């Protein structure tokens, strides 16, 4: 082989070795996504779906048993306070009232006779007192029979919409049988499910401006009032149930089950230092004993393993109680492929 060919071959081999070394060195500098640590937010904007529920829903039952003689309402009907809803067959109740009234009249007659005989000293004080007691007992029985007769008529306790009618005419019912379900006409509640993240799942919750948009009028906003929320997390959805009260716009018929959206600003009020840093769940690793992140020296672009203490929280954003400070930079994605002291570069570079 000539000297020229030999030199050429050596140059090619050297170039291959240099290229491989360069590629290996380049591969050791792993591209990752960086994240600057920020403090937890004091204010969280939310836009959540809602379901409308009447503020007041009442199931009505008779307080006496009997047979439905007549129903005066239908589902979907609006009724006024005091309107007649249903009536039981009053025959047996009327008969009982007549019987008890007859007994009362008889007891009163006995008492009047006992008074006359007592004045003539024919009966004793004990006999007179016994006759008087019988009158009182008979009167109580009459009052009870009259009350039960009145209870055979069902009247509307407030202005309402008839949500359901659960019986039919001539159906026998007991005092526990639901007759109708009524719901309020004017006051409604927007029920929403608030995600159980640390920013809003504290007991000291302050809710700022609240605006409701119903699907039937998506371009009209309705002001709402924060009523309550449940601190208990629903396991299936990892949410808190919250209720907001509102009055429908004039001329709009709002019904239970309607849907929409509520937009609000949820602020946390607590004694916790608002400079507590937060990291995403994707940045935190676990070695079997401790949680850690890869902290980045932004000048040398070398990572170091940093043990962190994570406070209890639900959600994808975790509060860090020790190990990091606001302003630190960590590996936000790709940390699982790194090792301590490794060089990195920004993924966007």
Q: What is the pLDDT of residue 135?
A: 95
Element (H, E) at 214: strand 205-214
**Higher per-residue confidence, 184 vs 172:** 172
User: How far, in Å, CA of 54 to CA of 35, rounded?
Assistant: 46
**Higher per-residue confidence, 297 vs 21:** 297
* pLDDT exceeds cutoff 90 at 219: no
* pLDDT exceeds cutoff 70 at 243: yes
**Higher per-residue confidence, 69 vs 309:** 69
Q: What is the pLDDT of residue 313?
A: 56
* pLDDT exceeds cutoff 60 at 317: yes
**Higher per-residue confidence, 202 vs 340:** 340
Q: What is the pLDDT of residue 26?
A: 43
Q: Are 260 and 213 in contact (CB under 8 A)?
A: yes
Q: What tokens appear for 135 in the block? A: 């009158």
* pLDDT exceeds cutoff 90 at 280: no
Mean pLDDT, range 20-49, rounded to an integer: 67
* Domains recognised in the chain with CATH numbers: 30-40+274-346 (2.40.420.20), 43-56+187-268 (2.40.30.170), 59-87+152-186 (2.40.50.100), 90-151 (1.10.287)
φ/ψ of 197, rounded to 5, equals -95, 160
Q: What is the mean pLDDT of the chain?
A: 82
User: How far, in Å, CA of 249 to CA of 324, rounded?
Assistant: 50
Nearest to 295 by CA among 15, 86, 32: 32
Nearest to 294 by CA among 22, 29, 10, 33: 33
Q: What is the pLDDT of residue 264?
A: 77
**Weakest mean pLDDT among 98-112, 139-153, 315-329:** 315-329
* pLDDT exceeds cutoff 70 at 189: yes
User: How far, in Å, CA of 260 to CA of 181, rounded?
Assistant: 24
φ/ψ of 139, rounded to 5, equals -65, -40
Over residues 87-97, the pLDDT tens digits come to 999 999 999 99
Q: What is the pLDDT of residue 139?
A: 96
Q: Residue 54 pairs with which residues in a beta bridge?
A: 188
User: Residue 286 gets which letter from DSSP?
Assistant: E
Q: What is the pLDDT of residue 202?
A: 43
Mean pLDDT, range 296-310, rounded to an integer: 89
- Residue 268 — very low, low, confident or very high, per pLDDT cuts 50/70/90? low
If DSSP codes are grouped into helix, strand and coil, which group holds residue 312? coil
User: How far, in Å, CA of 345 to CA of 349, rounded?
Assistant: 7
- Residue 229 — very low, low, confident or very high, per pLDDT cuts 50/70/90? confident
Q: What is the pLDDT of residue 186?
A: 79
- Residue 20 — very low, low, confident or very high, per pLDDT cuts 50/70/90? very low
Proportion of the chain above pLDDT 70, given as a percent: 81
Q: Are 157 and 63 in contact (CB under 8 A)?
A: no
**Helices within 1-90 (DSSP H only):** 3-28
Over residues 72-88, the pLDDT tens digits come to 999 989 999 999 999 99
* pLDDT exceeds cutoff 50 at 203: no
**Higher per-residue confidence, 71 vs 211:** 71
Mean pLDDT, range 181-206, rounded to an integer: 72
CA atoms within 13 A on the CB side of 267: 6
Q: What is the pLDDT of residue 7?
A: 47
Q: For the chain, first and last CA: distance in Å? A: 47
User: How far, in Å, CA of 73 to CA of 83, rounded?
Assistant: 9
User: How far, in Å, CA of 205 to CA of 279, rounded?
Assistant: 22
- Residue 25 — very low, low, confident or very high, per pLDDT cuts 50/70/90? very low
């Amino acid at each position: 082989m000539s000297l020229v060919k030999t030199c050429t071959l050596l140059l090619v081999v050297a170039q291959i070795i240099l290229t491989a070394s360069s590629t290996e060195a380049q591969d050791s500098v792993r591209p990752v996504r960086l994240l600057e640590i920020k403090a937890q937010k004091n204010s969280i904007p939310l836009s959540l779906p809602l379901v409308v529920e009447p503020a007041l829903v009442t199931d009505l039952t008779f307080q006496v048993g009997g047979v439905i003689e007549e129903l005066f309402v239908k589902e979907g009907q609006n009724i006024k306070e005091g309107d007649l809803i249903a009536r039981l067959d009053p025959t047996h109740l009327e008969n009982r009232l007549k019987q008890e009234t007859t007994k009362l009249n008889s007891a009163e007659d006995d008492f009047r006779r006992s008074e006359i005989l007592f004045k003539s000293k024919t009966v004793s004080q004990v006999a007179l007192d016994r006759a008087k007691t019988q009158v009182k007992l008979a009167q109580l029985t009459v009052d009870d029979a009259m009350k039960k007769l009145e209870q055979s008529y069902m009247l509307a306790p407030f202005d309402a919409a008839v949500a359901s009618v659960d019986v039919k005419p001539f159906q026998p019912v007991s005092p526990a049988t639901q007759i109708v379900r009524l719901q309020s006409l004017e006051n409604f509640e927007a029920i929403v499910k608030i995600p159980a993240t640390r920013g809003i799942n504290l007991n000291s919750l302050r809710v700022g401006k609240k605006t409701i948009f119903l699907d039937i009028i998506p371009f009209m906003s309705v002001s709402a009032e924060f009523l309550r929320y449940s601190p208990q997390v629903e396991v299936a959805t990892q949410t808190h149930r919250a209720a907001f009260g509102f009055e429908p716009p004039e001329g709009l018929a709002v019904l239970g089950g309607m849907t929409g959206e509520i937009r609000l600003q949820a602020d946390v009020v607590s004694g916790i230092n608002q400079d507590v840093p937060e990291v995403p769940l994707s940045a935190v690793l676990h070695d079997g004993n401790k949680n850690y992140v890869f902290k980045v020296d932004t000048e040398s672009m070398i990572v170091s393993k940093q043990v962190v203490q994570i406070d209890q929280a639900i959600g994808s954003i975790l509060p860090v109680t020790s190990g990091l400070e606001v302003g630190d930079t960590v590996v936000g994605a790709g940390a699982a492929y790194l090792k301590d002291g490794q060089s990195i570069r920004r993924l966007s570079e």
